Amino acid sequence: MVSIRVNGQEIEAEGGKRLLPVLLENGIKVPHLCYHPSLRPGASCKLCVVEIREEAKSFRPRLSCVARCKEGMEVTTESAMILQLRNQAIGNLLKLAPQAEKIHRIGAEFGLSTGMIPDGCIRCRLCVRVCKEVIGAGALEMTRVDGISYVVPSETGQCLGCGTCVNICPTGAIIQEDKGNVRTISIRGEEIGIHHLVNCEICGRTYATRRFLDHVQDLEQEHQHPDVKEPHHYCPTCAKLGRVRSRRGPTL
């Protein structure tokens, strides 16, 4: 553990841990959009900037999602310079997504200049990265049109309909719509994938796409998972209840 000083307050932190989660865990609010604890920092939104001083040097601005905690580090989360840099960052985000509601909420909470109405993608790339690095589908990519980057369906990957991109998107720009047994995932009205949903064999509710279940089964076979059995189409709730019953034994 190391001791750092934040806004004049001493805080104990794990040495080498990213600064942003330490600040948030200690109730110190810092604006952020592109940070996710499951992924390495992308440093895209620039909103989490703070001022840091180390080894008796002068304070200088750094992104708290990237900076790591060190013994004796001093951190300031509010200053005229920080406000100026955050206003610049939020202005750059609004050029990309002038109507993104999440950006406007952050602006209102932290007193940043927005001046527009919300909607859209902020190009944080969380959806692209999680689809490639975690799911392994690579269904999304960034492309440039008229000098502006856009998230679009990949020409090489294939959407599995798992909805992970929808869940991780910080602004709600990616939409998932389930109608009957069909799931549609889209961004800016452009379809990323349309999939048929599988019904749970116990309760009958739709719960996942066929393509995603096939993908999971292929991964289990590829890695020779020791618990692979004959596949059943159970939703998470029924699968969990089944495991509980099997541990308790048959009911009379």
Sequential DSSP letters for 76-103:
ES--HHHHHHHHHHHHHHHHH-TT-HHH
- Count of domains in the chain? 2
Question: Model confidence over 97-135: pLDDT tens digits?
Answer: 887 888 989 998 999 887 654 457 888 999 999 999 999
Residue finishing a domain among 86, 110, 134: 110
**Domain membership flag for residue 118:** no
What pairing do the DSSP bridges indicate for beta strands 74-76 and 49-53? antiparallel
- Residue 12's φ and ψ, nearest 5 degrees, are -90, 135
Cα–Cα distance measured from residue 107 to residue 91, given in angstroms and rounded to the nearest whole number: 10
Cα–Cα distance measured from residue 163 to residue 131, given in angstroms and rounded to the nearest whole number: 10
Task: Clarify whether residues 33 and 103 are in a common domain.
Answer: yes
Task: Clarify whether residues 48 and 99 are in a common domain.
Answer: yes
Which H or E run contains 220? helix 210-222
Task: Clarify whether residues 164 and 203 are in a common domain.
Answer: yes
**Domain membership flag for residue 30:** yes
Token code pair at residue 17: 């841990």
Paired residues of 2 in beta bridges: 13
What sign results for the dihedral spanned by CA atoms 92, 39, 145, 193? negative
Residue finishing a domain among 76, 110, 144: 110
Report pTM: 0.61
- Residue 89's φ and ψ, nearest 5 degrees, are -65, -45
Full residue range of the structural domain in which residue 62 is found: 2-110
Cβ–Cβ < 8 Å for 45, 32? yes
Q: What is the pLDDT along the chain (252 residues), one digit of tens a residue?
A: 999 999 999 999 999 999 999 999 999 999 999 999 999 998 999 999 999 999 878 999 999 999 999 999 999 999 999 999 999 999 999 888 887 888 989 998 999 887 654 457 888 999 999 999 999 999 999 998 766 788 999 988 889 999 999 999 998 999 999 998 899 999 988 899 999 988 887 887 887 898 888 888 777 666 665 555 555 677 777 776 765 444 444 443
